[in-house]
């Protein structure tokens, strides 16, 4: 199944909102024997990336085409600093696929402003490929957990309940352990994440439906 197209202005149903609230409360009680003040809501996480970006070469000059192809080559050769420099002009020009790749490069370089750039890219992008299924971030001055609307029933893939529970559990772990963005999945995190029931099924479903998972990040 290919990735669905998502518009940031689409709204999930009130039923989906209620379902997510119940799942979040269930995970907090069953897996953490606690409650969390952090709101869990549907939305599109900031981080937007494309592992294999399409090259939209229309409306580019021959020189620009060479520059963009060179940037992608640098990326796949793991020359991330050079790829960043080559991609910046295309980000400024609003080239969507180049901007998505730029976000991924910033994350791999552990640039402190990559999430801010990702938010900007996501505002201009109506579709996302291999995005996180969830994230913990700040919106309107408060910490929230965003569960990608692609998992919901009304406008998404109608993910199995265990998948949504796994993603919520994953984000609660980040909060409970106070993980560092520079090392988001340390050994203890991975052990606790691996203990989640039906984790393997959830990971497979997420990967099949074009969501990135903890298994896509180097240990």
- 14-56 tens-digit pLDDT: 999 999 999 999 999 999 999 999 999 998 887 644 434 444 5
At 77, give phi and psi (nearest 5°): -90, 5
Task: Please state, in angstroms and rounded to a whole number, the distance separating the CA atoms of residues 32 and 73.
Answer: 45
C-beta of residue 24 within 8 angstroms of C-beta of residue 39: no
Residue 112 to residue 135: CA distance in whole angstroms: 16
Place of tokens 């201009």: 124
CB 95 within 8 A of CB 56: yes
Q: Which CATH class is domain 14-44+128-214?
A: alpha beta
pLDDT single digits (tens) 104-146: 888 778 777 766 676 666 554 544 445 789 999 888 889 999 9
Question: Per the confidence metrics, is the pTM higher than 0.75?
Answer: no
Helix axes 14-32, 161-177, angle to 10 degrees: 60
Q: What are phi and psi of 180, to 5 degrees?
A: -90, 130
């Amino acid at each position: 199944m290919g990735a669905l197209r998502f518009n940031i202005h689409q709204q999930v149903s009130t039923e989906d909102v209620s379902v997510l609230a119940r799942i979040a409360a269930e995970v907090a009680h069953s897996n953490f024997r606690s409650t969390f003040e952090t709101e869990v809501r549907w939305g599109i996480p900031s981080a937007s990336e494309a592992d294999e970006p399409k090259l939209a070469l229309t409306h580019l000059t021959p020189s620009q085409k060479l520059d963009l192809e060179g940037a992608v080559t640098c990326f796949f050769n793991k020359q991330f600093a050079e790829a960043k420099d080559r991609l910046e002009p295309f980000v400024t020009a609003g080239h969507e696929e180049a901007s998505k790749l730029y976000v991924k490069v910033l994350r791999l370089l552990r640039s402190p402003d990559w999430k801010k750039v990702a938010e900007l890219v996501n505002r201009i992008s109506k579709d996302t490929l291999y995005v996180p299924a969830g994230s913990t971030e700040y919106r309107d001055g408060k910490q929230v957990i965003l569960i990608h609307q692609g998992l919901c029933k009304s406008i998404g893939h109608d993910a199995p309940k265990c998948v949504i529970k796994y993603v919520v559990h994953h984000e609660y772990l980040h909060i409970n352990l106070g993980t560092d963005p520079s090392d988001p999945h340390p050994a203890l995190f991975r052990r606790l994440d691996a203990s989640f029931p039906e984790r393997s099924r959830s990971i497979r479903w997420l990967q099949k439906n074009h969501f990135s998972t903890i298994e896509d990040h180097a240990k």
